[in-house]
Every structure is written in C-alpha cells, then in structure tokens.
Amino acid sequence: MNDDGFTAKYWHADSVETVCESLGTSINGLSVDEVRERQLKYGLNQLPAPETRGPLMRFLYQFHNVLIYVLIIAGVVTALLGHWIDASVIFAVVFINSLIGFVQEGKAEDALKAIQKMLSPNAMVLRDNRQISIPAENLVPGDVVLLQSGDKVPADLRMFRVKGLQIQESVLTGESIAVEKITEAVAQQSTIGDRRCLAFSGTLVTHGQGGGVVIATGVQTEIGHISTLVSEVESLTTPLLRQMAQFGRWLTLAILAIAIITFLFGSLVRDYEYAEMFLAAVSLAVAAIPEGLPAIMTITLAIGVQRMARRNSIIRRLPAVETLGAVSIICSDKTGTLTRNEMTVRMIVTTGNLFELAGTGYDPHGAILQAGENGEYKQLLQQSVRAAVLCNDASLEHKDSEWLVHGDPMEGALLVAGLKAGLEIDVEAKQYPRTDLIPFESEHRFMATLHHSHKGDAFIYVKGAPEQLLDMCDQQQTVSGNQPIDKDYWLHRINEMARQGQRVLAIATRSVDYEQLELNFDDVKSGLTLQALFGLIDPPREEAIGAIKKCGNAGIRVKMITGDHAATAIAIARQLKLVNTEEVLTGEQLNSMSEDELRQKVVSVDVYARVNPEHKLLLVRLMQELGFIVAMTGDGVNDAPALKRADVGTAMGHNGTEAAKEAAEMVLADDNFASITHAVEEGRTVYDNLKKAILFILPTNGGEALIILAAIILGFHQLPLTPVQILWVNMVTAVTLALSLSFEPSEQNVMRRAPRDADQPMLTPHLLWRITFVSFILMGGTFGLFMLEIDRGMSIEYARTVAVNTLVMFEIFYLFNSRYIFDSIFNWAGLTGNRYVLIAISILIFLQLAFTYLAPMQMLFGTTAINLNTWLQIIVISSSVLFLVELEKYVVRQIDSKANPPSLN
C-alpha cells in the first residue's frame, strides 16, 4: 500500500491465492499475534480527524475582507467624531456579517465527519480459526471478514467465497442496482463499478453471504480515498465575493485618493485651516462609504434563501444564492437525481406482442399499453405477470402515501407491474402457494419456484438472465398454445431492449406432477417454456425532462455524470433530451485521455458513464478552467469531492448521504432535479435585486460626496451636510428604501436569457454612467436648494435641514426608477408592483418628519422645522430625477433597439 489514499496493487486483477500470498494470510484468517503486529504497522481502521482552525481564528478570519476594512475605518472615524450610536450601527453590521461567515464555515470538516460515520461499527472475522465479532476499527489487512445480508461492509475486501452475494454500491458508484459479487479476477483497467470481486467499505449487503480478505483499511479504502479527496479539494470563492472584493479594493482606493486630493486642494488652494480641512475630508470619506451595502447584500441573499426554501432548495452557504444565477453548466448524477432510483418495468415482450407500462417508480398507478387490441394477448400478459409476481421474494408496503420495496429493487418492480396488470399479490400467493424454491445464485443466474394450486395443478416458474433461460427453454408460450422456441426472435428483442438501456429478465414455466413437492436443478435445466421478457429501467423523473428544457432556454447546459453503464446512461439521456445524446465517454476512456484531449471534449460531450470520484472531480475542474460556472448535483459519497469543488454543490435531501449534504452548498428537500431550475431562477433574481440595490445606494454616496466637493471648491466654510447627517441619510435610506428592492419579484424573462458572464464586473459601463448621472442630479438639486436658502438669509441649520430632506426625497423618487434597470416604470406594475417599496416610503417619510420636527432629533442632528412652501419646493425639485432617469432609459432603449435585449430586462 502507499500513503496517498490509493491501493498500490490491483487486487481485483489478482487471484485469491496471489492476494493471500501478498498479504501474508490465508482464507482461514490471521492469528491474534499477527493482528497485533499489523495494527502497529497499519493503525486503526478509521479515517483521521480533519485538521481545523480553532473557533477564534475562524472568527477573526471573517474580517479579512477589504470591504470590511472600509467599514471598520468608517466606524472608527465615526467614533472619533463622537457619534457613538452611528459607530455602533456600523460595527454591528461588521459583526453580523462576520458571524454569518463564521457559522457557515467548516463545511469540509462536517463532510469528513459524515463519511466517518458511514464506516461499519462491527465486523465478523475469522481469527485463530474462530469466528468472532470485533469493532470494525480493529480490522487489519489480511483479516478474513464474513458477510451476510444486512451487513455494512467494514473494510475493502477481496472476495474468496460468495453465495448469492449482492451489495448495494450506489453511494460509491451511483449504480442503482445491487451488484452481484464473484470470486474470479477482473481486468486490471476495470472501473470501481466493474470490480465485482471486491467489496467496498461503507456499502450494504442486500442478499446472500460471502467471505473476503481485507485488502485496505482506513484512508486506504475507496471511501477513505474519497475522504482524502474531500479534504484536499479547495472550495472556490463565488463570483459575487470576487466582484465585491474587487469593488471594495477599487472603492477604498478611490475614497482615499479623493479625500487626500480634497484635503490638499482645500488647504493649499482655498487656504482652509488644516483641522477644518481634515474634518471636511473625513466628511467626504464618510459620505462616499456605502455603510449599508454589506447589510443589504446579506439581507438580499437571506431573502433569496427563504424564497428558495419555499421551493424545496435549502441553502447551506449564503453566497451560493447569487452564484446560482451565474450557473452555465449543471453536472448531474443520474441515479436518484435525474431518475428516482426506483426500478420500473417499462416493457413486457411476449411471443408476437409488446406491452409498454406507464408510470414511474414504485407507485402502481399506470396503464399497460398494448401494440394492438387483441384480448387473447392480454391473457398471455396476465399469465406472464403472474409468474413474475409468484417467482419473487420482495414485498411492497404502502406507508405515508409512499410505496416502499422490501427486498431486491428489480423484484419489487415486478410486483408493481403485477398491480398495474390488475393482480392482487396476496390473493395470488394464497391461490398458488409456493412449495419449494431454488434461490438465485451467481453460478446459475436464475431463481426457480414450485407452486401448487388448489385445483390440482403444479408448475414451476423460473426467472433469470435471458441468455441463460433461452438455453433452458425448448418451447415458447403463444395465444394458441406452446410452440417450438424461436431464439432469433427473442435474441432480437433482448438486443432491442438492451439498446434502450433496459435490464432484461426472462420468465419461463413448466408443468409438473401434483405429487412433486421438491424442486431440483434437474427439473429446470431443460424443457422449459419461455413466457415473456421484462425490460426494467430506473426511468427519468418526468419533471426532470421539463426542467432540462427550461435550462436549455436559460442557456444552461445539463451534463449527466454517472457510475452506471454507458448503454443505460445514453438511453436515459435520450429520454431526458440532453443536447448531445450520440456520444458517451466512459471511465476507461477518461483514463486513457490526457487533460488537453479531455478539455477539448468536455464541453461537447454531455454523457459520462462508469466514472469514479476522481473523474467527477476532474470534469468539474476542467469545465471551471474553461470559464464555466458549474453546479454539481449528487446524492452519494462518491459525489462529495466534486460537490465541494463545484461552484454550487447540490445534494439530495431525502435520499442523499450525509457526506454529500455536508459537502454541498445547497440541498434539495424533495430530491427533484426540477427544483434546481427554481433555485437558478431565484439566484438570477437575487443578483438582479443586488444590482438594483447597489444602483440605488451608490448615487446617494456619490451625490453626498459631490455636495461636499462642490462646497469646498466654491469656498463654503460651512458644509451643506454634516458627517452625522450623512450617516443618517445613508443608514435610513439603506434600511428602508434599498431593503425594499430585495423583495423585487423575478423579471418576466429571467429564465429566457443566457447566464451572465461571471467575470463581468457588477458595475458595467452603463451602470457606472447611471450612477454618475444620478449623482450629479442629486448634487445639483440638493446643493442648489442649500445655496438658495443661504442666499435668502436662512440659518445654516435651516439650509442643512432642507438639503437633507431634498436628498432623501430624491432617493424616494429614484427608488421607482431603480425597480427596472432598463424598462420604463410608467405603468401600474412599475409604480405598485412591489408593496414593500410603498411600505418603505411610508416609513421613511415618517422618519424624516421626526428628523425635522422632533426636538431630540433636532438637537442630535442639528436640524430645525421647515415650512410647507419649502416642502413643496423640495418635492418639485426632487421629482425631477424620476423623469430625467426615465428619459435616459428611453434613449438607451432606442440606441439598443436593434441589438440583443439587455441582460436584465
């Protein structure tokens, strides 16, 4: 063995004798002394605890963000100015943002803990020729482990004895059917799903018994290898965080540069006192910093989380909400995600006829459609389905409006087909009681049951692999009686069903004497009559087909990455109507390709089959390197590394493993692929609303900064706005008006436009122009009315009160403009479509009246009462922004009328 999580030998390609020789053991197990020596060499059979930062360091690390630095500086400056309430608000915003990040971090550690919990707690072993039960953590390579139905495999094993052993490996491979184990070696290049002589740690025994030699423990197992992959995968930052970090750096430099230039200009050109100019520069910095922006971003994302939760998408990491809006590729696991992980009989073939069964999963509702309406053929169908129901060890249970299968999923599907055909399973079992059986074994690949009816009939039913049963049959059942078997007909049907990705079972029968009470192999080795072929498949979810079409309209490519067989994968892909259903790449092909070769194919190929965890991780990484924002869905342990690496890892909440959930940013409560499209829609809406909020907030800061600059340039020794008044405007407009934009509904065409470019800055040239345009409108109107009041001989308090109220009224009118970035708001929906906007305006008007007329507020903010004529003047001037911005929108729409529609409307 080596130390990097891989087994050094290809144990699946070696014979049992070679494996035992390599490990210094035998099929009789180890002695206690040998075990003690190996435990010192290999250690315990458990996964190592992840190395994590302590809580304090995790919390402090949340402050490592340029925008947070800007806020802290704003808080310190505000505190130095003596405005402790405002400073407290700013520091509270910083603390809340950091606390959210602190709580959300640690996802990888949780994923590793979840994988650890999957390891078996106990194991049955042979030591010193005695069969004993030990804690699984005490296993060592070379131990002999005995397995039986219901056991969780405690370590990776090379099987040397199997008796009908079937193991459910979907958590590791994604394959929905339990794998029938063998003892013979397989090809060296076989993928995990094809290594049928191995049993893997953490998988579940569903049928039979077996014995195997431990070949790997702890981190050396396949599940340990996945744990290592999860711990080594670096989580990517989201597009929003990248953009906001870039914006924060740009904003910090801009504010510092403007403040320094203003300080030098006032001191050197206008001969202001240094202390006076310092306070003016501080006012300018406070004006330019959007204190409320991080809080608005957090709240907007949180509102998106609530919206998504109502649509069955649970967000575990806040920025993932916005990332969903930029997703350009969805890589989906097949089993349990695009399909239900419930086998369904889709087709029944009898002599000369074919029946198709509607419905999906274990729900017995669904019609049986026949090619033709011959009632005699339906009788033949009934006889074939009866045989499938009686030659069966599974059972169905209807619990809490859900149908559950106990036993083999394929046998459960046959019972569901019986219900669809109108049979009552319990009645059939009583009418034709079973007398004896030959259980299914991999050596003979069939199951046979002997039945006696109450009418004096006795017969054998045989169910198994079609190629095997064809050799055992010399007759075929028809509506007119038995006929010599036409093997070419049946082989053609078998190949036809296999091409459609169906797993085929054959059903045969034979009458025997009523006195026969025992069933022997000689009774079934020949002379059987073939009744029917049953084609089973884990079908696609009906809603997934519509969801994939919706993704296509939204410019999102869906790719299927599965551990299942290529034929099954391509058949499901065609039913799902993926873009490219002609090509499929298998795990073996991926192993033989270089990264450059795969990079050239990864965009065009939509179906990947028989892949292992490393392949999934590689595919996601290559797509990301090509510039795509990738969402990965999955439910198994095998999906955990890729889920963590993806921009948006999405796990299934109902059938998903804990390891998958902990590695993911999002969990689908209903296991429904269609919920992803709803989440993408909400993600795009959240990004739109963030953009609208930023487009609304920044002109306030821009207008305030321009007002301070204009006053300094024009030589005013008393500024139109004080720092505390600036903070008042910033905080109340952010908390009320900007927050209302977080509740904006989705745009009508939100899912009919291509994904946005994740590298495109949030502030495009057009939006920067809009911010500048509105900032100058706000500055012109506010500074103009301030100067007018000063010229009229009013007090500085009166003029500043007018300036603050003018600025706030500008914001109220501009809020309507901000609801649609490109479209006109001069319609009923534009003016009244968001009730939170109207509520926010009402609250803000109340706050401004208190700001203007309440004595404590006047003392705190340096304001005074103003008369009705002044209010009318303020309203007329401030309403100009509504008409000027709508005029600007109209001009932009005319210029772009012949181009593609804008990205937001």
- Residues with catalytic roles: 333
Instruction: Give CA torsion, residues 376, 377, 380, 385, to 10 deg.
Output: -130
Helix axes 293-310, 66-80, angle to 10 degrees: 130
Buried/exposed code over 318-340 (b: 16+ C-beta within 10 A; e: otherwise) = bbbbbbbbbbbbbbbbbbbbbbb
> Within 10 A of 793 (CB to CB), how many other CB atoms are there?
7
From CA 775, how far away is CA 778, in angstroms rounded?
A: 5
Q: β-strands 329-332, 630-634: how paired?
A: parallel
For residue 48, give Cα distances in angstroms to 250, 515, 730: 43, 62, 50
In this structure, are residues 800 and 863 in contact, taking their beta carbons and an 8 Å threshold?
A: yes
From CA 649, how far away is CA 639, in angstroms rounded?
A: 9
In this structure, are residues 42 and 218 in contact, taking their beta carbons and an 8 Å threshold?
A: yes
In this structure, are residues 255 and 285 in contact, taking their beta carbons and an 8 Å threshold?
A: yes
Phi, psi of 81 (to 5 degrees): -75, -5
In the three-class reduction of DSSP (H, G, I as helix; E, B as strand; rest coil), residue 404 is classed as strand
In the three-class reduction of DSSP (H, G, I as helix; E, B as strand; rest coil), residue 478 is classed as strand
Give the closest residue to 589 by CA, choosing from 576, 602, 577: 602
If phi over 0 gives left and psi between -120 and 50 gives alpha, with beta otherwise, what is residue 445?
left
> Within 10 A of 182 (CB to CB), how many other CB atoms are there?
15
From CA 827, how far away is CA 824, in angstroms rounded?
A: 8
- Could you tell me which residues come within 8 angstroms of residue 41 by beta carbon, excluding any fewer than 6 positions away? none
The H-assigned helical ranges of 593-717 are 595-601, 613-625, 640-645, 658-663, 674-713
Strand partners, 43: none
In this structure, are residues 528 and 474 in contact, taking their beta carbons and an 8 Å threshold?
A: yes
Instruction: Give CA torsion, residues 312, 318, 322, 325, to 10 deg.
Output: -30
Phi, psi of 402 (to 5 degrees): -130, 140
Q: How many CA atoms, within 13 angstroms, populate the side-chain half-sphere of residue 278?
A: 6
In this structure, are residues 813 and 896 in contact, taking their beta carbons and an 8 Å threshold?
A: no
- Could you tell me which residues come within 8 angstroms of residue 332 by beta carbon, excluding any fewer than 6 positions away? 338, 558, 559, 560, 561, 632, 633, 634, 673
Buried/exposed code over 108-122 (b: 16+ C-beta within 10 A; e: otherwise) = bbbbbbbbbebbbee
Phi, psi of 201 (to 5 degrees): -55, 135
Give the closest residue to 640 by CA, choosing from 159, 226, 105: 226
Tallying the residues shown for the chain, one arrives at 905
From CA 460, how far away is CA 452, in angstroms rounded?
A: 9
From CA 855, how far away is CA 864, in angstroms rounded?
A: 8
From CA 686, how far away is CA 678, in angstroms rounded?
A: 12
Strand partners, 475: 484, 529
From CA 234, how far away is CA 645, in angstroms rounded?
A: 6
From CA 664, how far away is CA 671, in angstroms rounded?
A: 14
